[in-house]
Amino acid sequence: MPKGLVVVESPAKVKTLEKFLGGDYVVKASVGHIKDLPEGELGVDLEKDFQPRYVTISGKGKVIRELKKASKEVKNIYLGPDPDREGEAIAWHIAEEIGDGNKNIYRVLFNEITKKAVLDALRRPGKLQQSKYEAQQARRILDRLVGYQVSPILWEKVRRGLSAGRVQSVAVRIICDREREIQNFVSEEYWSLTAKLKGKDSSVSFDAKLTKWKGKKAKMAREADVLAIQKALETVPYSVLKIIQQEKQRHPFPPFITSRLQQEAFRKLSFPAQKTMWIAQKLYEGIDLGEMGMVGLITYMRTDSVRISAEAIHQVRGWIKDHFGDSYLPPKPNVYKSRRGAQEAHEAIRPTSIEFEPDKIKTFLDEDQRALYKLIWDRFVASQMPSAIFLQTTAEIKADDAIFTATGSVPVFQGFMALYMEGEDNRENGEQENALPPLSEGEILELLGLTPKQHFTQPPYRFSEATLIRELEEQGIGRPSTYATILSTIKEKGYVHLEKRKFFPTELGLVVNDLLVVSFPDIFDIEFTAQMEENLDKIEEGRRDWIETLKEFYLPFEKDLEMARVSMRDVKREQIPTDATCERCGSKMVKRWGKRGYFLACSSYPKCRYTREVEGNEENQVETDAKCAKCGSSMVVKKGKFGRFLACSNYPACKFTQSLDTGVQCPQEGCGGILVERRTRKGRTFYSCTKYPDCTYALWDKPIPEKCPQCGFPFLLEKQGKGGTNKRCPQKECGYRSSE
C-alpha cells in the first residue's frame, strides 16, 4: 500500500515527483483550480456575509473522480499545489472534495522541485492555512463584485462585451494619466555649450560642458544667449582649475523577485511578462535532463522575497571562489532586505543547484529557456559577488568668467560586473562616461572648438511592460502572481495597445477610464487599491477579518453603483455638436460613438446617412516615413472600417490613400507586386498581392522582410501567440520556426 497520495497542480510536476518518490506515493494533478465561482452570475450572497457559491469548473468532474478514487487507497493525503494564495485555494477545494474523517490531510509546500526539497516537505508536512485561503477568497470575491456589477453598466453606456476590473482598470488609469501628462506637457528650449580641449603635450582630446557663467549656474534658454557666451570664450585661455578624484562603488543587485525578473527579461530578452512566467513555470516544474531525468531548475517563481537559504549561499560562494578566485568572494555573504510586507517564507528566484551551470545543461533547453535560465543564474551568482569599483575623475576648467566640467571614470575592479550588468529602461537618456586623459591642476589647455547644442525638455516617458510593472509594484498595485495577467488582460480587452514596445491608451481605453474615474472615484483610485492590497495581506497574516474587509469595501461601492446606473454618461446615445459640415446635405456633423470608436455623422440622420472618420484622431493614426505620391506630405497609418491603411497627413486638402505596404515582394515568379495588408468582410486581417486579381497570392500570417536563416527564403511569417511572437518560414519543406 502506498504511503500516501500527493496532489500537485500540473501534470509536468507529476512526472518530476514520480521520479523522486518511486512507487512509495501515488502522485496526481488537479490541473489548476477544480472549483470557482459560477460563470454568468454573481455567485456571491450579498445578504449572507458575502458567502461564495463554488461550482465545479467545466471539465474538472473527471479530475475530481480520479482524485477520489486514488484517495480511497491511502490514509494520508498530501496537498502540494503552488505555495501561494491561489495554490492554497486549490488545496482547500481539493480537501473539501476528497477529504473525510478517516483521512489525514496535510499541506506540503515545494519552494523548489528537487528530490531533497520534496522529501523534506513530505517528512515535515503542515496544515492547510485558513487565513491564506481567506485572503484568496476575499480577493476573488472583490474582483467578482467589481467585474460583474460594473461591467454591465459599461455594456449599457458604451459597448457590450466590455469589462471592468478592480486592478486592471487601475492599470489602465495609470497609462491614461501618463498619456495626458505627455499631451499636456509644454516643452521648453535650452542650450548647452561644449568645449573640445586637449593638453599641450597630449594627443587625446576630451569634452567639457559649461556649468558656470560669471559665478552662477549656466542657464541658456535661447540661441542668442549661447552664441554670446561662445563668442566671449573663443579667444580666452583655458586651464585646469581643479582635479577631484574619488573611488565609487557599484553594488551588486539582489537575486530576482517576480517583478524584477519580468522587468529584466523584457529589457534584455524582449520577453512579455506572460511569456517570462510561462517559461519560468516550466523551469520550476522540471526539465528532462537526459540520464538525470526530470529536474526542477529554479525555485518558485512567484515571490517578493530576496531571502536565500544558507545552503544555497554556501554552494554559490564555493562556486565563485573556484571560478573567480578569493578576490571575487566577499568576506561575508551579501544580505538583501525585502520590501515591507514581503512573504519571507519564500526564497528569491534562484537555481535549485549550483551544479546545473547554464553551459552544462544548455542542450536540454530550448532557446528561450536557455536565455531565461542564464539570466536567473547570472543574477543569483552576481548577487553574492563584491561591488565593482571605479575611479571617477572630475576636472574643473577655467576660461575667463566660465567654468567647464569634464567627468570620466575608469574601472579599478570589476567585482560582480565580471558576470552581470542590469539592463536599463530608458537607455537613450543616459550618457556614456569615458576616461579623461592625464591632467594636472594649473595645466594650460588648447581649445579645439566650442559647440553649442539646442535641447528641449522631454515629457515623461510612456510605459513599457518593464516600467509599468515597476510602477504597479511601487504603487502597491497587484502582487507577484498578478502582474503578467494584468498586462495581458488590458491588451486583450483593447484598452491599450503597444507601439514600439510602449503602452498607448486606445480611444476606448480613454473613454472607459474617464467614465470609471468619475463614477467610482474611490474604487479605481490608486491609493485605495493599494490599501486594499495591504488589507488582503493582513487577512493572510490573520490580522484582519475577511468579511469585515468586504463590508467596508461594499457599502460605499454599492452607493456608487446605484448612482452610476443613473448618472454615468451614455456614450452610446450622446451626440456631440461640431463645426464640421456634411459634404452631402450641408447639415452640421455630430460626433457619435460606434463599434470602432468616435466618428462624425450627419445631424440630419436618418434623412442623411453620411458619416466619416473623426479628423486628427490620434489613436486612429500613426506617423510613418512614407511620403504622399500626390502632394509629398507625410503619410500616416489610419484605422478605418476595413482595417489599417496609409493616408495623406494633409487630409482633407489631399485625400490620397493606399494599402498598407509590408515591405515584402510577392514571391510569385515574374509578378513584381508587393504584399499589402487587407481585411475580409468579416474583419479578419490577411495579406495579398497588389497585382490582384492578376495575382491571387495571399497569406493569413503577417510577412516580414526577414530572410529565413535556414533555407534563405526572402521573408518569414510572423504571428502573435500566447507565449509571445512566433516566426516561421512559409516553405513547408523548410520547417524553420522561432519564438520571441
d(CA 531, CA 306): 23
Per-residue pLDDT reduced to its tens digit, 162-194:
999 999 999 999 999 999 999 899 889 999 999
CATH of the domain at 86: 3.40.50.140
**Runs of H (alpha helix) within 99-211:** 115-123, 130-157, 168-184
Do 373 and 414 belong to one domain? no
Nearest CA-CA partner of 641 in 694, 681, 581, 590? 681
Answer whether residue 161 is part of any domain: yes
Residue 232 domain-assigned (yes or no): yes
Please tell me the distance from the alpha carbon of residue 649 to that of residue 397, in angstroms, as a whole number: 49
Task: Looking at the structure, tell me whether residues 438 and 365 fall in a common domain.
Answer: no
Is residue 180 one of the residues assigned to a domain? yes
For residue 501, tell me if it sits in a domain: yes
Does residue 243 share a domain with residue 262? no
In a domain, 730, yes or no: yes
Please report the pLDDT score of residue 727 as a whole number: 84
- Rounded distance, CA 401 to CA 659, Å? 60
Q: Which of 45-49, 432-436, 716-720 has the highest mean pLDDT?
A: 45-49
Considering 352, 382, 412, which residue would you say is the last residue of a domain? Answer: 382
Extract the C-alpha cell encoding 568: 454615468
Q: Which of 540, 567, 594 is the last residue of a domain?
A: 567
Q: Which long-range contacts (CB under 8 A, 24 or more apart) does 82-86 make?
A: 82/9, 82/300, 82/302, 83/109, 83/110, 83/111, 83/300, 83/345, 83/346, 84/300, 84/302, 84/481, 85/132, 85/133, 85/135, 85/136, 85/139, 85/481, 85/540, 86/33, 86/136, 86/481
- 588-591: list long-range contacts, CB under 8 Å, 24+ apart: none
Give the integer Cα–Cα distance in Å for 265 and 369: 11
Which residues does 607 contact at the CB level (< 8 Å), separation at least 6?
Answer: 585
**What is the CATH classification number for the domain harbouring 158?**
1.10.460.10
In a domain, 617, yes or no: no
Q: Do residues 554 and 664 share a domain?
A: no
Question: For the chain, how many structural domains are there in total?
Answer: 5
**Confidence at residue 429, expressed as pLDDT on a 0 to 100 scale:** 41
Percentage of the chain modeled with pLDDT above 90: 70
Asked whether residue 146 carries a pLDDT value surpassing 90, the answer given is yes
Q: What pLDDT digit, counting tens, does each position of 64-76 carry?
A: 999 999 999 899 9
Answer with the residue of higher pLDDT: 434 or 548.
548
Domain of 321? Answer: 258-382
82 and 166 both lie in a single domain: no
Q: How far apart are CA 331 and CA 14, in angstroms?
A: 41
Can you give the pLDDT at residue 651?
A: 75
Claim to verify: residue 703 and residue 678 sit in the same structural domain: yes
What is the reported pLDDT for 480?
A: 83
Rounded-to-integer distance, Cα 577 and Cα 17, Å: 67
Of 361, 382, 403, the last residue of a domain is 382
How many other CB atoms are found less than 10 A from the CB of residue 562? 10
Return the percentage of the chain with pLDDT > 70, whole number.
94
Say what the pTM is. 0.79
Nearest CA to 21 out of 90, 122, 95 is that of: 122
Return the active site residues.
300
Q: Are residues 352 and 450 in the same domain?
A: no
Q: pLDDT tens digits, residue range 562-598?
A: 999 999 999 999 999 998 999 899 999 999 998 888 9
For residue 243, the tally of other CB atoms under 10 A from its CB is: 16
Q: Are residues 373 and 394 in the same domain?
A: no
Beta bridge partner(s), residue 532 = none
156 in the same domain as 82: no
Report the side by side order of strands in the sheet with 25-29.
25-29, 4-8, 76-79, 104-107
Alpha helices in 524-612 (DSSP H): 526-540, 546-567
Does residue 708 or residue 391 have the better pLDDT?
391
Q: Are residues 374 and 399 in the same domain?
A: no
pLDDT computed for residue 479 by the predictor = 84
* pLDDT (tens digit per residue) in 451-498: 999 999 989 999 999 999 999 999 999 888 889 999 999 998 899 998
Residue 252 has pLDDT above 80, yes or no: yes
| Mean pLDDT of all residues in 30-51 | 94
Query: Do residues 366 and 430 share a domain?
Result: no
- Is residue 365 one of the residues assigned to a domain? yes
- Tell me if 636 is assigned to some domain: no
Domain co-membership, 375 together with 340:
yes
- Mean pLDDT confidence for 54-63: 94
CATH number, domain with residue 313: 1.10.290.10
The predicted-structure confidence for 613-630, as pLDDT tens digits, reads as follows 886 554 445 556 667 878
**pLDDT single digits (tens) 357-378:** 999 999 999 999 999 999 999 9
